[in-house]
Amino acid sequence: MTIASSGALFWIALGILVCYGATRLGLGSVTEPGSGFIFFWAGLILIILSLMVLVDSLRSSEEIVQETGEMNWVKIALVLLSLVLYAFFLERLGFVLTTIVLLTFLLGWIERTNWLRSLCVACAAALGNFAIFELWLKIRLPKGIFGF
């Protein structure tokens, strides 16, 4: 099985889930469509289109995955994880501290910039953004337990 056809199977499964969820919400009638009406039809069309893509991918042996060059999946996973942790700690530790940690990690670890320079840039960026957003634009950024 090619990657493309397993991808199509994923969309079919999603379509079925959407249709199922839609029936539970209630489809209503054509004269008075219910909450699930649009979801049901969208799910159904998704299933039909995915079947078309599936048939297409089974017929041609060509792999239709984008040649994007080697993606560094380990790095990508690390960045994504760091962003999830950022979201988790943002309101607990405050904007400035979490941002310094995140940027130092991104610059120093992911982009392999000199650690000391990464830390300096991270501090400057975190404080600069705090000044711009919080003080100038009056957009409330989370302060956390330390109050900044």
Partner 1 sequence: MLESLTSLAYGFNIALQPQNLLYCFIGVTMGTLVGVLPGIGPTATIALLLPATFKLNPIAAIIMLSGICYGAMYGGSTTSILLNIPGEASSVVTCLDGYQMARKGRAGPALGISAFGSFIAGTFSIVGLVIFAPTLADFALKFGPPEYFALMVMGLSVVAYLARKSMAKALMMAVVGIVLGCIGLDPITATPRFTFGILDLADGIGIAPVVMGLFGIAEVLENLGVLTKAEIFAGKIKGLFPDREDWRRSIGPIARGSLLGFFLGLLPGVGAIVPQFLSYALEKKLSRHPERFGSGEIEGVASPEACNNAAVGGTFIPLLSLGIPSNAMTAILLGALMIYGLTPGPLLIKNSPDLFWGVIASMYIGNIMLLILNLPLIPMWVSVLKIPYSYLSSFIILFCLIGAYSLNNSTSDIYIAVIFSLVGLLMKKFTFEPAPLVLAFVLGPLLETALRRSLILSDGSFSIFLQRPISAAFILFSVVVLVAPLFSKLRLGRGLSEED
**Residues interacting with partner 1, by CB under 8 A?**
3-4, 7, 11, 14, 18, 21, 25-26, 29-39, 42-43, 45-46, 49-50, 52-53, 56, 64-66, 68-72, 75-76, 79-80, 83-84, 86-88, 90-91, 99, 102-103, 106-107, 110-113, 121, 125, 129, 133, 137-142
Kindly tell me which of 58 and 76 has the beta carbon lying closer to partner 1.
76
Kindly tell me which of 30 and 146 has the beta carbon lying closer to partner 1.
30
Cα separation, 63 vs 139, whole angstroms:
47
Nearest distance in Å: CB 146, partner 1 = 17
